[in-house]
Chain A
């Protein structure tokens, strides 16, 4: 009796010990994990999560020129914003800009990726050329196009002139300015989008093409039935990235048009910048930033939901 009691007690003791060691080890591994993650977590907190919350907070206030909150105004900033024709126009221009740039960027880049995926001599040279715009900064690209769009000496109007057409005020005519900025943006986007799509094409199993060849399938049949479906995860990714990038456009606007003419190119980030750092209205600028954040969040979620059904995953 006493002996069995003793046995029970020692196993209990051992279990207790075991639990304790396990707990200790868990704490230790947690601390170790945090040690590796802490630098990122701290920086994300300071420069991402806190600013995000602070933006939302600021959007309910008026501030002074230093950004210190002065008066709580509730949803007034949002109400004023949505009743302001300038902001409504900014939202419209932004969506129009996305509509102009995203499909064209994808189509051109896909075309380039498909022709650059052929096994031909010297193909590496063409790949380098097509990806080159990725290495060109927004400031440099804007300066290149600023010249191309120049009303009198710019290449585009010179070409129009020799063909007998009238000059176009690319950056000064309200009907053309957003298109001009879009063209610049599409050109800048091509490099990155091309590179990603080419990578997607190269990862398609060549076996698929070989068996299609045996069946005697034509070039365009293979393109439609193998290449595009197999590429859909990559396409899905580049569409999302291009849309998000379009919403974040700033540099081209700052150099090419400064939001003009008649605010037609006053895209949302430029509008935020102007409201905050030119007019020092940090409250209403923050309200605009909240809208930008919500749009991008919705786009991402929508893309995920919509993309999942349509995308062919391997």
Chain B
């Protein structure tokens, strides 16, 4: 069915106005990151654009180190989550054993415990393990993930049971079946979950704030906070350059995977 032209115009106007409002803060930060401090302070339109702010941000702060740390930690968490979630989801879908339903409810129960409510003992555990300022301290607590398990369980259930029976008759063990059949079939869901895991890990704030005390493993989010608080001259251009560097990887990932992410998240959330 085609829409009358007048209705089309109304929709485009609504879409455009909403788009401008939603995107304005990001666009403004992007512009500011190329502007001189004088232009920003006087509130004038940019008289000149340059990469000076970026050069300054990288020069004054170990941003490169922070970026590497964030990448490394996010990828470790992503892999850990994919591995643990897919193993657990496999057990819930393909294996039958006593206590399975009970364990499933236990997984559901974990979703009701906010990490923030248990952050004090968690901090003490990491400290007692000597994991403060380490990559494992920043990543291992996030490997187990109920949401990921549910999302993959949903996907694994669509794999026909006959396939497993056939593989069992052919003498294929469960682990081999998991590796060679289930994981390749569920590739799309794994990618979705991976993107989601990466995004949330990259954007983590409270935990890296607590569990890092120096630059060695500090993430870029905490680096940005430091940039903002230590920038004595209130050099907004430099701060915005830092912020843009922080959001570019996740924005690119989001733009590439938006469709899949939307489909995957809706499925995991609702079925």
Contacts and interface: CB of A to CB of B under 8 A. Distances in A.
Nearest to A29: B97
A188 B216 CA distance: 29
Interface centre among A111, A195, A285, A297 (most CB of B within 10 A): A195
B206 interface: yes
Contacts of B19: 126, 129-130
Interface string B205-236: 11001100000000001101100100000001
Interface in B80-135: 83-85, 87-88, 90-91, 95-100, 103, 106-107, 110, 112-125
Contacts of A49: 110, 113
Where chain A touches its partner, the secondary structure class is helix
Nearest to B23: A129
Interface string B243-258: 1101100110111001
Contacts of B103: 37, 41
Given A132-B23, A137-B250, A144-B25, A296 B114 contact: yes
Given A200-B270, A233-B270, A292-B114, A195 B95 contact: no
B144 A116 contact: no
B265 interface: yes
A284 to B, nearest CB: 11
Contact of A36 (B32, B88, B199, B253): B88
Contacts of B115: 248
B43 interface: yes
Interface stretch (A83-91, A163-171, A222-230, A272-280): A272-280
B87 A36 contact: yes
Interface residues of B, number: 91
Interface of B: 1, 3, 8, 11-12, 14-15, 18-19, 22-23, 25-26, 28-29, 32, 40-41, 43, 83-85, 87-88, 90-91, 95-100, 103, 106-107, 110, 112-125, 140-141, 143-145, 149, 174, 178, 199, 202-203, 205-206, 209-210, 221-222, 224-225, 228, 236, 239-240, 242-244, 246-247, 250-251, 253-255, 258, 261-263, 265-266, 269-270
Interface of A: 26, 29-30, 32-34, 36-37, 39-41, 43-44, 46-52, 54-55, 58, 67, 111-112, 115-116, 118, 120, 123, 126-141, 143-148, 153, 155, 158, 187, 190, 195-196, 198-200, 203, 213, 233-234, 237, 244, 247-248, 250-251, 254-255, 269, 272-273, 276-277, 282, 285-286, 289-290, 292-293, 296-297, 300
